[in-house]
Structure formats: C-alpha cells, structure tokens
C-alpha cells in the first residue's frame, strides 16, 4: 500500500472516485464537478483543496480530499476532510485507517488542533470505523445548508 500526494495526472481517477462515492451515497447525479474544475481546485493558482491517492499493486484503490478550515474559538486552523473513498473490493483492508493516520499526522505537523468530517447517519460501517478510531460525533450541532432557489432568494 502506497499513500501519495495527488498530481495533475491523477485528476481523472480522483473525479471517478468522487462519482463512485456519490453513487455509494445514493446521489449519483449530485456529482457535477468537471475535470477542469477539479484540476483548478487542487492545482490552480488558488488551491482550494488537497488530495492523496492510495495505490495497491500500482493501481489507485482509494483517495482522500481535504482543505484547511478555521476555528474562531481557538484562533487556529484545522483540517476538514471532504471525502474519503475506498473502492468496495478493498474495504476492510486497512486503507481507511491508513488514510486517517496520514491525515492525523498531517494535522499535527501543520500545527492544527483538530480534524473534522461528516458521515451520513445511515452509513453504519463508516460510523463504526470512526468510533473505533476514537472520533466523537458532534450530535449537539446540526448542519445547515443554503443553496439553489433559497440561496438566490436570500441574496436578492
């Protein structure tokens, strides 16, 4: 197993993993990002996110995408994990733990105080995995989103 930083040549496989994750999360049509958008987000003049790939026997089988967040209470940045994906045939083989270990080390190396991510409430295997790492659900906080027509109406 090799974990490595993504390169511009990895954009097509990263996009494919994002699409596979959207299908797994029961929203296959929600993944609308294009290769140029992903390339610009990861490697453009203003980097919006970072990514890594996990290779098994020379072939990508998993990936993670993350970005820097900021906490006003501590005045310090954090690492916000956007996506972690492992292809179905490779789940349960330690890839997810290796990804989170890598991200935990990165979080500490950068002087960040915490790592945050979300999980769908029906994804019992992922919740069990996160619990096994000592992660704690933030059940007191509800996540809200403003988008589409409601976003346009508020902005008007």
Say which CATH number the domain at 151 has.
3.40.630.30
The structural domain count of the chain equals 1
- Expressed as residue numbers, the domain containing 75 is 2-155
- The two three-digit tokens of residue 19, written as one number: 């699409």
**Catalytic hit among 67, 90, 102, 130:** 130
Q: Is 112 a catalytic residue?
A: no
Prediction pTM value: 0.93
**pLDDT tens for the 156 residues of the chain, in order:** 999 999 999 999 999 999 999 999 999 999 999 999 999 999 999 999 999 999 999 999 999 999 999 999 999 999 999 999 999 999 999 999 999 999 999 999 999 999 999 999 999 999 999 999 999 999 888 889 999 999 999 999
């Amino acid at each position: 197993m090799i974990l490595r930083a993504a390169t511009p040549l990895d954009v097509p496989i990263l996009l494919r993993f994002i699409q596979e994750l959207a299908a797994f999360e029961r929203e296959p049509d929600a993944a609308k990002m294009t290769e140029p958008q992903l390339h610009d987000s990861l490697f453009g003049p203003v980097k919006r996110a970072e990514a890594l790939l996990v290779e098994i026997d020379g072939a990508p089988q998993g990936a993670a995408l993350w970005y820097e967040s900021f906490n006003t209470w501590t005045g310090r940045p954090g690492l916000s994990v956007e996506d972690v994906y492992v292809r179905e045939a490779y789940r349960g083989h330690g890839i997810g733990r290796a990804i989170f270990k890598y991200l935990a080390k990165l979080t500490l190396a950068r002087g960040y105080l915490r790592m945050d991510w979300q999980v769908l409430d029906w994804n019992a295997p992922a919740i069990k995995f996160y619990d096994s790492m000592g992660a704690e659900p933030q059940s007191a906080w509800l996540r809200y989103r403003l988008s589409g027509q409601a976003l346009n109406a508020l902005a008007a």
